[in-house]
Every structure is written in C-alpha cells, then in structure tokens.
C-alpha cells in the first residue's frame, strides 16, 4: 500500500526587504544638469574641429549590417580569448573575422555617379486597370559602372533590379508592373542603390529619387443625368419655392409691409392703382453631399461591402460633377468639397476602412456643405435606420435626403420612409436602376 505523503514543513518566511528610493535634492539635480550643459558646450568646438576625421568613420559604421556587427563581435571575442589563453587558432579566427568586415567596408567605399529616374504613367488608374512604370539609370561617370543592385519600393514590397555594367553615358531601362487589384494609394520609390559585399555584412544605401504616389480609384458606373432633388444653378432649373429676391421672375403681387421697394413694378402699379411688386422663384446651385459609412460590421460581407459603398459614392460624385454641380464627400478620415472629379476620387482612394461615428461624419459634411441640396448616406443593412435618420436630420428640411443601403444579394428597391428616400442595392449596377425609378417617382 502506498504510504500517505507527510506534509512538508515550511521554514520561517524571510522578511520582505523594501529598497528605499533615492531622490536627489533639487540643488544637486540642478548642479548635475548645469555640469552636463557646461561639458557639452566645451566639447562642441572640439567636435566641430574633429568632424572631418570622425564623420567618415561614423558614416562607414552605419553601413555595417547586423550580421556584420555579429561577425565583428565574434572576432573581438575570439581575439580576447586567444590572447588570454594563448590559443593561436582563436587568434587566427579573430584576425579573419575582423579582416573580412574591414574588407567589406572598403568595398562599399567610392562614389557612384549615376542618374536614376522613375516614371509611373498614368498616375491615376481604376481598380483592375494595368499600371506600369519605368526606371532609367544612366552612368554619368567617366569610367564604366560595375553591376549594381537598384531597389524600388512598390507598395509593401520591393522590386529589385540588377543593373548590368554600363559604359560612360550609357542608359539602361527596366519596366515594372504595379498591382492594382485593390483601391488605395500605392507609394512608388524612392529608388535606391545598394552597394556592399556578397555576404551582406555591409550595406550602403543611397536614395536617388523622390516618392511617387499611384492612385487606384474605386470603380464607377456611368449614371444618367438626373434631377431628383438636385437644384440647378442660375443657368439651369429653378425650384418651385417662392422668393422675394432672386433672378428667376415668377409673377406680380400686391405690396405687403416689409417688401423691398426696389422690387416695385411701377408701370403695373400705375395701371392698376395698386402698388405691385415682383415675385421670384428661388434658385440655388445644386450641391451633392455624400457620406460613406466605412464600418465593416454593418455590411453583410464586411470590408467588401465597404468597397462597394465607396464605389457607389464615387459614381454619384462623378455624375454630379459632370452635371456642373458641386460635390462634397466624407469617407472616414478623408473629406473633400467643391473640387474636381480626379481629386475627389483621390480622396476616396486614401480613405481607410474602419469604424466611424456616422453622426459625426454627417455633421462634418453639413459643415463643409451648408448649401447642400441633396444629402446622401451610403451604409450597410446592419446600420439601424434610426441612426441614419438622426444623422441626416442635421441637414435642413429643404435638403433632399437619401439613404443608400448596400446589401449584396438583395433586389434593388426604392422606398419613402419618414421623409427619407431609401434606395437598396445589391450590386453597383443596381444604382442606375434605383436612381431612374427614384427620379421618376
């Protein structure tokens, strides 16, 4: 039978020791700070005079990679062990390591006289369109240029080009392709040359160009020119709202106290014997304000639904600008107002996908476009209608308000709910159908 284990006896517990925190008096702390400042001021002239000697050494040391520092550290350690224990083999290993690092530093020396140019054309493309770039390198030196490696960051990856040996004045050209499967802004460059050794102990990097941005615009669908709540400008369509002062003459009416005497029609007043004033139709410049809800969870398919919502907003904005109307867009952390279609699409390309405060976004749009004639919120089916209604309530009652619900797999529909026009679409192509039916309604 197994014997029961006897409980272990615990020894006496050790008393806890608290290390007191040492705080220097204010006078001592100020004295140390003053001493450091004085020493720094006195060493500054010496540092400037000796800069020509130590600056090249410091620059060369920055070229050494992590692997290079590891080899150098092993060399120093082997040298110390060999000298302490009279171990000749370790001394030879140390000499080999240090000589290798020193030789690699020497190989990275020298001036590279080249001209590098990167060209990305076109700078703006739509998702899925081909985008190519070109990198040119010219040897501006008087001696032949040995093969070098040119790195060109493209988005999150680096393109590496091994340039052949170039004679003086010779130019070499390389073509690269930029992936455009996703909406966004792709940074290209700066191009840099890499000099070093085959082992990667030393890496000397020189930058030759600036960074170029490639804008991948969201897809858009061509829409018919419509006038659903969109008020034309002074040369276009007038509203049916009566105004006492505007440019679109409507009719004559009797004078009422408070009317502007400048609008009195004296000839008609003389004929009728009653003071008559001109009455006008209110005219405003059409202005479309669009807010995109980039909160992923409100869409059935997450981020893909957000991308579809951005494409819907882009299609509306492009159509609005083509109709010579003003446009404002607010999409997460990006906003633009009263600018050209390419710049508005650039703004949508920069927009990030993530949670947003819909009420705050609509408030920002209302501040950017106080004269908006149409306000639209593009959101998903998971966003409660009450939140969209409350957010759009920040626009005045004279503004036509739309809620465009993106829900893949749903049949397109148009509804009037609580004074708002609710358009439901399942695909981008459905936008044209619901707008036509909404306008006709």
pLDDT single digits (tens) 167-198: 888 899 999 989 899 999 999 989 888 777 77
CATH 2.60.40.10 fits 114-217, yes or no: yes
Domain ranges of the chain: 55-109, 114-217, 242-281, 287-440
Regarding predicted confidence, which is higher, 200 or 10? 200
**Predicted TM-score (pTM) of this structure:** 0.69
> What average pLDDT does the segment 416-434 reach?
89
pLDDT single digits (tens) 387-416: 999 999 999 888 889 999 999 888 998 888
With 60 as the cut, is the pLDDT of residue 226 above it? no
What confidence score (pLDDT) does residue 247 get?
42
Average pLDDT, the chain: 81
With 50 as the cut, is the pLDDT of residue 246 above it? no
Q: What percent of the chain has pLDDT over 70?
A: 81
Q: What percent of the chain has pLDDT over 90?
A: 31
CB < 8 Å & 24+ apart, contacts of 31-39: none
CATH 3.40.980.10 fits 287-440, yes or no: no
Q: How confident is the model at residue 272 (pLDDT cuts 50, 70, 90)?
A: confident
């Amino acid at each position: 039978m197994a014997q029961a284990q006897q409980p272990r006896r615990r020894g006496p517990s050790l008393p806890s020791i608290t290390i007191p925190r040492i705080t220097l008096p204010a006078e001592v702390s100020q004295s140390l700070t003053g001493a450091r400042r004085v020493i720094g001021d006195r060493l500054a002239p010496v540092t400037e005079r000796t800069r020509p000697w130590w600056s090249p050494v410091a620059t060369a040391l920055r070229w050494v990679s992590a692997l290079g520092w590891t080899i150098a550290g092993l060399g120093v350690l082997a040298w110390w062990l060999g000298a302490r224990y009279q171990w000749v083999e370790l001394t030879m290993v140390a000499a080999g390591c240090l000589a290798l690092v020193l030789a690699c530093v020497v190989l990275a020396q020298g001036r590279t006289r080249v001209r590098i140019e990167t060209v990305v054309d076109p700078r703006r493309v739509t998702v899925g369109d081909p985008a190519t770039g070109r990198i040119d390198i010219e040897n501006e030196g008087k001696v032949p240029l040995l093969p070098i490696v040119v790195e060109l960051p493209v988005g999150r990856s680096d393109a590496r080009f091994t340039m052949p040996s170039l004679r003086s004045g010779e130019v070499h050209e390389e073509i690269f392709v930029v992936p455009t499967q996703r909406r966004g802004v792709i940074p290209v460059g700066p191009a840099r040359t890499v000099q070093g050794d085959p082992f990667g102990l030393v890496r000397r990097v020189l930058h030759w160009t600036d960074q170029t941005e490639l804008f991948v615009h969201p897809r858009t669908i061509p829409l018919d020119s419509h006038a659903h709540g969109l008020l034309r400008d002074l040369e276009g369509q007038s509203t049916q709202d009566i105004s006492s002062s505007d440019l679109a003459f409507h009719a004559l009416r009797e004078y009422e106290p408070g009317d502007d005497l400048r609008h009195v029609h004296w000839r008609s007043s003389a004929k009728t014997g009653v003071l008559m004033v001109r009455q006008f139709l209110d005219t405003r410049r059409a202005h479309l304000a669009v807010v995109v809800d980039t909160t992923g969870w409100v869409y059935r398919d997450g981020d893909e639904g957000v991308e579809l919502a951005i494409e819907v907003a882009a299609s509306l904005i492009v159509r609005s600008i083509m109709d010579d109307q003003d446009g404002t867009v607010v999409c997460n952390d990006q906003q633009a107002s009263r600018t050209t279609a390419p710049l508005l699409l650039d703004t949508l390309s920069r927009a990030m996908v993530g949670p947003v405060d819909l009420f705050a976004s609509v408030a920002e749009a209302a501040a950017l476009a106080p004269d908006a004639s149409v306000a639209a919120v593009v959101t998903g089916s998971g966003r409660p209608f009450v939140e969209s209604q409350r957010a759009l309530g920040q626009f005045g009652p004279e503004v036509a308000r739309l809620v465009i619900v993106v829900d893949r797999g749903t049949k397109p529909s148009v509804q009037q709910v609580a004074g708002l026009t609710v358009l439901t679409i399942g695909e981008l192509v459905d936008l044209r159908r619901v707008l036509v039916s909404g306008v006709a309604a």
